Amino acid sequence: MVADTGATPKRQRILIVEDEPFIALALEAMVLELGFGVAGSAAQVSAALLLIGREQIDGAILDVNLGSQKIDPVADILAARACPFFFTTGYGISGIPARHAGRAVLQKPFGSEQLFTLLRAEFGSPIDDRRGSEKEGTLSRGDRQLPAHHATGIPTSGL
């Protein structure tokens, strides 16, 4: 059997850990719209740990507070695996686990441009395309390229 060298590159798979259902759904839609894949979504620490154990995860978006649970165990495992992640919070940086104080934080509410900028900064290109080929339908904007349908952004008022 001959390997297909023209195979479609894989999307970077992002784990979303967020306990607010509306925000979790909006994040999933935004991540997909921005060209990344979703490895899974969890609203509790235990569910996030299960996903980490069974899914390929290339990066994660972690809400600092999941109800009464803190995100610390999830952040610790991802850090131990050298898996990039960043935090989201509506409460400021005071709730960030001390061991991960140097990680990026996205303050809620945020919009698609802010999310995309941080996704690219932390995880790189949404598509793991080691061939370096240019895709049709891209627009240059600053130091990154966006698919043409991103030119106007995702119609949200933010999260």
Query: Could you tell me the residue ranges of all domains in the chain?
Result: 11-127+134-150
- pTM equals 0.76
Question: In the prediction, which pLDDT does 11 show?
Answer: 86
- Structural tokens at position 139: 């627009």
Peptide bond before residue 126 is cis, with ω within 30 degrees of 0: no
Question: In the prediction, which pLDDT does 141 show?
Answer: 29
Question: In the prediction, which pLDDT does 41 show?
Answer: 98
Q: Which CATH number fits domain 11-127+134-150: 3.40.50.2300, 3.40.630.30, 1.10.510.10, 3.40.50.300?
A: 3.40.50.2300
C-beta pairs of 120-127 under 8 Å, 24+ apart in sequence: 120/144, 122/59, 122/84, 122/85, 122/86, 123/12, 123/14, 123/36, 123/58, 123/59, 123/84, 124/12, 125/12, 126/11, 126/12, 126/34, 126/35, 126/36, 127/9, 127/10, 127/11, 127/12, 127/35
Question: In the prediction, which pLDDT does 92 show?
Answer: 80
Q: How many CB atoms lie within 10 A of CB 17?
A: 30
Question: In the prediction, which pLDDT does 94 show?
Answer: 80
**Nearest residue to 35 via CA among 134, 130, 145:** 145
**Under-70 pLDDT residues of the chain:** 1-9, 128-159
